[in-house]
Amino acid sequence: MSVLGTWLSPRPASGSTGLRSRILLGVVCAGYSIGAAVGWGSPELARFMGDFGLAAAALTAAVSCFLYARASARRLRPAWLLFSVSSLMAACGNAVWGWYEVVLGVPVPSPSAADAFFLCFAPPAIVGLLVLAKRPVTRAGWVCLALDAWLIGGSLLTLAWSLALAHTAHMAGVEEASVGPAALSLAYPLLDIVLVSMVLALHFRRSGANRSAVNTAIAALALTVLSDAVFTSPLLRSTYHSGQLLDAGWFAGSLLLAYAPWGVRRTPGADRPGPPRTTSRPIAGSLAALTPYLAAAVCTLGILYNVVEGRRVDRVVVLTGCTVVLALVVRQGIMLLDNISLTQELAQKENHFRSLVQGSSDVIMIAAPSGTLRYVSPAAAGVYGREAEDLVGAELSSIIHPDDLGRVVHEVRRFLAAPPHEEPTTRIECRFRSGAGDWLHVESTVNRHQGGLLLNSRDVTERVRLQAQLQHNAEHDPLTDLPNRALFTARVRQALGGRRSSDPGTAVLFIDLDGFKAVNDTIGHQAGDELLIQAARRLQESVRAGDTAARLGGDEFAALIMGDGTRDQGAREYQVHEIAERLRLTLSQPYRIGASEVRVAASIGVAFAEPGISPTDLMRNADLAMYRAKAGGKDRVELYAPQMQADVVRRSELATRLRTALREGEFALLHQPVVHLASGSVAAVAAQARWRSAQGILFTPAEFLRVTGDDDRTAELGRWLLEEAVKQAADRARAGHPVAVSVRLTATRLVDKALPFGSIEALLTRHGLPSGALMIEVADSDPRVPFDELEQRLVALRRLGVRIALDGFGSGFAAINALRRLPIDVLKLDRNLVEGVVESARLHKITSGLLRIACDLGLQSVADGVDVPEQVLALRAMGCTHGQGMAFSGPLDEYRLRRALVRGQFPVPGVPGPRPVMAGGSIPLLTGSHTETPVPPT
């Protein structure tokens, strides 16, 4: 049985197997028909094929339906089991019939057991059809189903009774004089009429589950009923014998029923319960609606036949006709009530959806396949500023922006060409013309509608504007509205990668405003913002139309200068340099900020595009050139040179090495004696840091700090220098060599919050060094350092007993102001004055005047960089009290320093002059200037 089911069922993946099954079915049926038509060659074979051949076909159908029932869904299983029982009854009836005719060789008695089996064929098939039918969901549906079945069955009964059944019933009653044979004669046609009625009534109500198998099963039952109808006709009934051509109809019906569940391709998941698929079946719907009228027409034909033949109308015909008419009236009444209910429901739904459409803020439009607008919702007046009536009949293309029309048409064509199940909707954004004549940004959801388009549109103009504003804000500086760094980088990338990528005239300018921080510190940040706005306006107006000006952040600006195609390197450098100079002069002009006039300068770095250079590298080169311009004196233009990158690499490497040296203790502390010019005694020592490189070379702070330019490393080195100088001075004092030590600190370092007021006092206390043994030299006078804070810090140190020296006196513009405000104890003459005091009469007079000022103020004086005896003589003659330099000693390590302290003094050339203001003793002094005296490795 399993093998049979497998043979009948084609594999879903192979269409050729199903075709072979259908061909085989047709060949078997055709062979049986041909054999029956020619009488099978002998009466015995004809009786055998007519009886046991039909039994075998019916048994095949029973087994096939049973196997399918076991494999099918639970809801369809009873139907196919009933079909299996029905086919089994037909097989048993044909087997009994063959037993009489073939085995026993006697005529089949009437009635016989075969008649009982044949009569049991129709009821299971009828119930099976009811199970397969789509069940009504309402009581009215069940009533209509029963009425439809009776309309068909009653009309067929009327026609059949008029044509043959009445005569058959009359003859059976006269000849047999028995109720049994008469009932048997009428049972076959009546059951066939009922079966045909159910087939026709349920044909339009069958379930969507495995519809092809159901259709094939209905066709098989219809073929069987047709053969029964021919068999029961009076003309054939009397002359029928087994093996005739009529048997081919029963044979084909049985094999077709066996083939139905297996041989027809099924949709995957069709047997699973679920909502039926909705398909468009206008012809089937029309036939279903005409069924009552066709039944009434058939009933009328039956009555007319009796009238035309002049027969008396039989009571069965009258009764059946009346019930058919009554059923038709009742059914039409139910349909009328159902139509009224459906009409009301449809009207309610239409009003509901109309309210939704008219109340929606979106505009709903329906466009015909030609592009003409057939419907526009009233929301168009509020969205587009145009009445819906004015838009109806217009072409959709007439309200779309011409620049967007091509893109919209292309998208619509692509959408309509795509399969609906793959892309049910699409979204299009374009510009629509409003009633005021301007263009609105509209986003539309597009659906298919009767070959045309259904558009659900909304105004997104504000959203587009907001996106554009957000995009602008993301790419522009909020203060000056110039392009920011991100947009400027994108413009540079575009210039280097576009059609001008090989143009060597393209250049990037980095611009920094010199002195801008002083503007913020003196007149406020609001004034600084106004200065930046004016500077941005000047920059924007100074560049050419195709160039780009940008603000990178703070007081840094940039400009992208596009090349003009020239290949002359000198010409392009001259042209760009001229543009940069013009920008420098423009930005350096006075700025009117409120009632004040502010001046700043501009340092500009220029880098030219080279083949294969990246935007990052080009901008980096311009940045390096700009910093070179600032380091070279500011307010100037500097062109990038490859050496600048090499310097950066060298400074980076040296900075890394310096960090390692600080971490691993590679710095050494040296001290240079400060000698009394009158007696040669050591009055103090100046602490100086040295860095011993891997090659054994000692670098001075002026050398390695100038190279690194690292403020963090400078601060860390300053902390180490102060800590180590105080520690070693305390150790020397405990060893019997009390001498003051001077430590040089920058003004920036002194006001740094990382050096609290009490840190120096705590340092002196921790190492046990008296405060009078420490002197702080204030190095340089950075204009950015708040003078009030510096004064407060020095006053606090002076109260502790720490002495204060002013380093580099005579070299800065702020020296007089420092003398006036700062608590100074010692003036330290700048090395540049001391070096030329012998050769230059002008420097001699300047130095002499400065020393007289120190003497008049009661301050001690130290000359830095005293390297030759002539300088000693000259300075002592001018009244300088102390000197520091190679004329006495270079920087000494701790061992040599203690030996010098034991000796107590250095030889002083010349004859001692007048008694100095500060004679002998220890004085707190500070280290040398930026150019400390170098010493060879020790």
Question: Which of 7-16, 146-155, 688-697 ranks highest by mean pLDDT?
Answer: 688-697
Three-state DSSP at 822 gives: coil
Separation CA 549–CA 545 (nearest Å): 10
Q: Which amino acid is located at 887 in the chain? A: A
CA-closest candidate to residue 804, choices 780, 790, 822: 822
Q: Are 324 and 158 in contact (CB under 8 A)?
A: yes
Phi/psi zone of residue 638: left (φ > 0), alpha (ψ -120 to 50 degrees), beta?
Answer: beta
So what's the pLDDT on residue 670? Answer: 92
**pLDDT surpasses 50 at 196:** yes
**pLDDT surpasses 90 at 206:** no
> What's the mean pLDDT in 246-256?
85
In the structure encoding, which two tokens stand for residue 736, read together?
């019997």
Among 104-108, 716-720, 764-768, 920-924, the least confident range: 920-924
Separation CA 130–CA 133 (nearest Å): 5
**pLDDT surpasses 80 at 548:** yes
In the structure encoding, which two tokens stand for residue 379, read together?
């929301």
Residue linked to tokens 């004016």? 534
Q: 754 pairs with which residues across the strands? A: none
3-state secondary structure 346-414: HHHHHHHHHHHHHHCCCEEEEECCCCEEEEECCCHHHHCCCCHHHHCCCEHHHHECHHHHHHHHHHHHH
In the structure encoding, which two tokens stand for residue 101, read together?
């005719």
Report strand pairing: 601-608 vs 373-376. Answer: unpaired
Three-state DSSP at 304 gives: helix
Separation CA 729–CA 738 (nearest Å): 8
pLDDT 10s digits, 17-64: 667 788 888 888 888 888 888 888 788 888 888 888 888 988 998 898
Among 204-213, 471-480, 682-691, the least confident range: 204-213
So what's the pLDDT on residue 288? Answer: 54
Q: Find all residues with CB under 8 Å of 18, minimum gap 6, and list them.
A: 10, 263, 264, 265
Confidence of residue 539 (pLDDT cuts 50, 70, 90): very high
So what's the pLDDT on residue 784? Answer: 64
pLDDT 10s digits, 342-370: 888 888 877 776 676 666 668 888 898 88
The string of DSSP codes covering 484-542 is -HHHHHHHHHHHHHSTTTT-TT-EEEEEEEETHHHHHHHH-HHHHHHHHHHHHHHHHHH
Among 262-271, 310-319, 735-744, the least confident range: 262-271
> What's the mean pLDDT in 844-857?
90
Confidence of residue 934 (pLDDT cuts 50, 70, 90): very low
Confidence of residue 307 (pLDDT cuts 50, 70, 90): low
Q: Find all residues with CB under 8 Å of 98, minimum gap 6, and list them.
A: 47, 48, 51, 52, 55, 242
The string of DSSP codes covering 2-61 is HHHHHHHS--TT-HHHHHHHHHHHHHHHHHHHHHHHTGGGSHHHHHHIIIIIHHHHHHHH
Q: In what order do the strands lie in the sheet with 556-561?
A: 548-553, 556-561, 507-514, 601-608, 637-639
Separation CA 32–CA 30 (nearest Å): 5
So what's the pLDDT on residue 512? Answer: 93
Three-state DSSP at 675 gives: strand
Q: Are 794 and 817 in contact (CB under 8 A)?
A: no
Confidence of residue 761 (pLDDT cuts 50, 70, 90): confident
pLDDT 10s digits, 659-678: 777 777 778 889 999 999 98
Give me the percent of the chain exceeding a pLDDT of 90.
19
> What's the mean pLDDT in 716-742?
90
Q: How far apart are the first and last CA of the chain?
A: 111
Q: Quote helix, strand, coil % in the chain, to nearest 5.
A: 55, 15, 30
> What's the mean pLDDT in 186-200?
56
**pLDDT surpasses 90 at 740:** yes
- Higher-pLDDT residue of 926 and 343 is 343
Burial class, 101, CB count within 10 angstroms (exposed 0-12 / middle 13-18 / buried 19+): buried
So what's the pLDDT on residue 814? Answer: 55
For the four alpha carbons of 842, 844, 848 and 850, in that order, the dihedral sign comes to positive
**pLDDT surpasses 80 at 927:** no
So what's the pLDDT on residue 334? Answer: 77
> What's the mean pLDDT in 296-315?
64
Separation CA 680–CA 469 (nearest Å): 77
Among 211-225, 418-432, 897-911, the least confident range: 211-225
Confidence of residue 4 (pLDDT cuts 50, 70, 90): very low
pLDDT 10s digits, 768-801: 999 889 999 987 666 667 778 888 888 988 888 9
**pLDDT surpasses 50 at 287:** no
Burial class, 263, CB count within 10 angstroms (exposed 0-12 / middle 13-18 / buried 19+): buried
- Examine residue 111 and say whether the peptide bond preceding it is cis (omega within 30 degrees of 0): yes
So what's the pLDDT on residue 267? Answer: 43
Q: 846 pairs with which residues across the strands? A: none
In the structure encoding, which two tokens stand for residue 275, read together?
């909502």
The average confidence (pLDDT) of the chain is 78
Among 20-34, 220-234, 665-679, 890-904, the least confident range: 220-234
Q: What is the DSSP letter of 904?
A: -
Separation CA 605–CA 618 (nearest Å): 11
Give me the percent of the chain exceeding a pLDDT of 70.
73
**pLDDT surpasses 70 at 172:** no
> What's the mean pLDDT in 626-655?
83
CA–centroid distance for 55 within its chain: 70
> What's the mean pLDDT in 712-738?
86
Separation CA 393–CA 450 (nearest Å): 17
Separation CA 539–CA 547 (nearest Å): 11
**pLDDT surpasses 90 at 717:** no
pLDDT 10s digits, 582-603: 999 999 999 998 888 899 999 9
Confidence of residue 101 (pLDDT cuts 50, 70, 90): confident
**pLDDT surpasses 60 at 95:** yes
**pLDDT surpasses 60 at 938:** no
Three-state DSSP at 671 gives: strand
